[in-house]
Chains A and B, each alone.
Chain A
């Protein structure tokens, strides 16, 4: 592929020497050439790969913020330094953006000129036969009794038949095919540009919200009803479609026995939803791999948990709280969970509880209660009780999963805390009130998102694959046939072949067919070396 390879490998090579005294414009041009060179592309590809590595080893805020917090607690001096380098937000880091933007600028700067060049090529004619066909990587030569014109006509027919683009010059036929290779390669690279653009704009215009919904409750698609909500840079809250989703029931099944006992086998949430007030209410069976499509958004089932139900009576005997309180699983295998109950309406003192919930409570060897199975076969709770001031009145936001114990006095702690089965009531010491464990509900955590870039991104991905497969399957080939009259009424036929990027697999077949059409006659002088190129 030494012969005129530069023509198809249009990728500009980096000029080695720096420009001397050519002014700003010259430097800019030099810089642009550098940036769009294959070598720079290679380096940038490696930098992108290298840049993502810390993202897979260090906890990332976007993925697991709680792990980042834990990391900060464990590595008090190191963490702030890593944070300064954005190593907990690698994929949103300025330096990471710099690398990939450079790569894609390089890509555009490389591919767009190549596309233009290729466009011209697509409509060009095959290049004329080189003077000496014997010097090509593949060549053959023989003598025949057929006339030169006949040989060339035959050659044209054969090559056309093989779908070459064929041109006849005075004593030679020039043929070329395989333009699709470069087309495929360009389509692949352009599709990557489109893909990046789609991903970027999807993130900018989309949104994502997470919400916890307990059985029997629902939520509507407004920013306020989400527990966590993130809109892209160009997202506007007024664009949220007004739908509502209710959770009727949730069920999970687990392997009841065997070595993988407790492994979940199925999750399913029965939901109803409504696209705005005027639409009918429909129901849907929401499962892990079956998101609900509603009004351009998608609702996903991400997780689940238990929400034990309580009735709290205060020191005056009034019902101060009644309802289900979502507990967060602390153990994914057994669904042992933890939660907090805040009773600001209790009198004379506000009441607060930290609760443990075991879906299948059993005593372990030490006599402590643990959960043996994630399904609720024997649900029990234990409550640590506090009274005093919950600290809600100062207006500072509080997590519903944390009790601010600063102004609270523990009234039931340690060994005095006994597990309660459903229906049992705990009397608080000192006449502070009582708590009844009424049973449990389940809750699901849902994610709602809208990403307008996902379908274009998918399309670009598919086009990229088609492009690269095409470019790998097709080869760019050139074949020339020259026929010249020699002495004795004979014709010398010379065939030369060139495949950009390898030998032409069908070169020999073409020569064979030619020889059949214009039969070979043994000649006086020794033949050129025979073609012996490829093992294909």
Chain B
């Protein structure tokens, strides 16, 4: 039933993906540090280049640029490109890991914690790559890579499980629908969470320390808006995941909602994210407070994922 060769291949691909993510992370880091000298020399210009502003404001700064800065600029771009290239490569290998895993077990590749983490990080990287393509969010790369590498490290070391068949309660095409939605939303919220943390750090000062980790990161307002938009993408998907889960529970357990711990925490997560969206529209709650609410929501999401599976027993405990 389980194809051991494919299972092995999948594990190898996972290792490859993690290594490539690490290299991409190093690439992003190198990108930041190579930009550093030039940035220290001409801070205003760097801010514009890095931020989301249009090219028009760069012009006057460019007059002060010297030969060596051009040189640096080229190298910086190369590191940046290198990082993105590797990131895309890592993503491809990661995708292949998931596909081979599914083929090895002959089912959807999300049936246990290891597979969930793999799928969620894959979704997060996918969301990031789309944002990179649409909004040029390279600055997010290094931070997201750290999160992805840590998550995949935990998955391979502590959560690993050999591929196997699903238990009967999971025999349903709803697993594909419900879990895919939950995984996509979780990946999206992860990206939003990283952006929100950056926002909170960035909002503390008006200008980031030159040469600091944060100086590539756009201004607080842009970060806030990006995080908001990402959560606006994630929220309906999460809502859908909960409803799909209810439909599935209805056919598997004879009730669509039973306040099982997993259901309870999905609901809590949903409500707190709704609270965040409300806070953004409530006078006196925008900005920092709203951001903190969204991080609480993200903490609920993570707790639902790890805590509930390991601490509380319920129908959803697959750990």
Contact = CB atoms under 8 A, between A and B. Distances in A.
Q: Does B associate with A? A: yes
Contacts of B285: 39, 42
A291 B254 contact: yes
B175 to A, nearest CB: 9
B12 interface: no
B232 A300 contact: no
Interface stretch (B67-75, B182-190, B255-263): B255-263
Given A52-B268, A302-B253, A535-B222, A264 B168 contact: yes
Contacts of A260: 162, 164
Contact of B168 (A55, A56, A60, A288): A288
A285 B174 CA distance: 19
Contact of A289 (B165, B172, B233, B264): B172
Given A56-B308, A461-B246, A468-B235, A288 B169 contact: yes
Nearest to A39: B282
B275 interface: yes
Interface stretch (A43-51, A129-137, A164-172, A481-489): A43-51
Nearest to A48: B271
A60 B236 CA distance: 30
Contact of B253 (A287, A300, A451): A300
Interface residues of A, number: 56
A240 B254 CA distance: 18
B285 to A, nearest CB: 7
B150 interface: no
B259 A42 contact: no
A258 B264 CA distance: 34
Contact of A465 (B56, B168, B240, B267): B240
A263 B235 CA distance: 35
Contacts of B233: 472
Contacts of A39: 282, 284-285
B243 interface: yes
Contacts of B246: 458, 461
Contacts of B265: 56
Interface residues of B, number: 58
Given A300-B253, A535-B135, A52 B278 contact: no
Given A289-B252, A462-B243, A9 B281 contact: yes
Interface in A279-301: 287-291, 298, 300
Contact of B275 (A49, A267, A465, A468): A49
B135 to A, nearest CB: 7
A204 interface: no
A157 B189 CA distance: 41
B168 A464 contact: no
Given A62-B259, A298-B254, A52 B272 contact: no
A471 B281 CA distance: 14
A255 interface: yes
Q: Is the interface of B mostly helix, strand, loop or mixed?
A: helix
Contact of B232 (A264, A266, A472): A472
Nearest to A266: B168
B217 to A, nearest CB: 14
B9 interface: no
A502 B2 CA distance: 52
Given A49-B268, A290-B251, A465 B281 contact: no
Nearest to A502: B225
A265 interface: yes
B243 A465 contact: yes
A289 B168 CA distance: 8
Nearest to B240: A465
A265 B167 contact: yes
A102 interface: no
B181 to A, nearest CB: 11
Name which of B168, B225, B272 has the most chain A CB atoms within 10 A of its CB.
B168
Contact of B52 (A57, A289, A535): A535
B254 A302 contact: yes
A408 to B, nearest CB: 35
B279 interface: yes
B60 to A, nearest CB: 15
A41 B225 CA distance: 23
Nearest to A533: B54
Interface string A247-291: 000000001001110011111000000000000000000011111
A454 B250 contact: yes
Given A57-B261, A266-B168, A458-B243, 20 more contacts: A9-B281, A38-B281, A39-B284, A39-B285, A49-B271, A49-B300, A56-B265, A60-B259, A90-B259, A91-B259, A260-B162, A263-B165, A263-B167, A264-B167, A287-B171, A290-B251, A461-B246, A472-B235, A502-B225, A535-B135
13 contacts: A11-B281, A13-B283, A38-B282, A39-B282, A39-B284, A41-B278, A52-B259, A56-B312, A265-B165, A288-B169, A291-B254, A300-B254, A458-B246
Which are the 6 A-B pairs with shortest beta-carbon distances? A300-B254, A535-B52, A56-B261, A56-B264, A289-B172, A447-B254
